[in-house]
Amino acid sequence: MVHYKLFYFGIRGYGEPIRLILAYANQPFENVIITLESWNSQKPKMPFEKVPVLEVDGKEKLFDEIFLPAIKKYLPIYVKTLKKSGSGYIINCGLTWVDFLIAGFITTLRNLHPEQLESFPELENYRQRVYSLPSIENYILVPVWNNAEQKRNDKALHNNAGRGV
């Protein structure tokens, strides 16, 4: 039987929809309450230092069996959609908020699992197109992030791309 473990604070917040779905499905789960006092010691153990985290028979299994197959499924769809649109962006009318969402996702994926993008050079070209817009380039130059993890990621991005993205 699958074992679900939810890590979240003792409030409803972002963890509550997960609890409601599991309750509705009559699916037993371990509700691990993180106190504010213990958060600083728990935070480094969480993926991306964020909660809620739903663990399904171990995090690696969840990542390998759910996230990576989804990535492999959607990357070719992004490429096909880009080619079909003809605008250089996801929608044929040109740049929309969807492009910022997808370019951000591709950037994150590039930094965490670059091997997933090796077969999709079109997506790197697309990402660069979005991030080379003058107002976006200016935004990237402004140090808006304050936490140490983001600063590490920004430094890695800068070192890897030479442009800060």
Mark the ranges of the chain whose per-residue pLDDT is less than 70.
Answer: 59-67, 142-165
Q: Mark whether 128 and 154 lie in a shared domain.
A: yes
**What confidence score (pLDDT) does residue 144 get?**
53
Asked if 90 and 99 touch (Cβ cutoff 8 Å), the reply is: yes
The pLDDT score that the predictor gives to residue 163 is 38
Handedness of CA 40, 110, 53, 140 (dihedral sign): positive
Is the pTM above the cut of 0.75?
no
76 & 107 share domain? yes
- Domain residue limits at 65: 61-161
- Total domains in the chain come to 2
77, HSE (Cβ side, Cα atoms, 13 Å): 6
Q: What CATH number does the domain containing 152 carry?
A: 1.20.1050.10
Verify that 150 and 120 share a domain, yes or no: yes
Predicted pLDDT at 59: 63
Q: What pLDDT is attached to residue 149?
A: 42
- Predicted confidence at residue 65, as pLDDT, reads 65
Kindly report the CATH number assigned to the domain that includes residue 44: 3.40.30.10
Same domain, 112 and 126: yes
List strand residue ranges (DSSP E) for 1-139, in order. Answer: 4-9, 29-34, 53-56
- Do 75 and 136 belong to one domain? yes
pLDDT of residue 148: 43
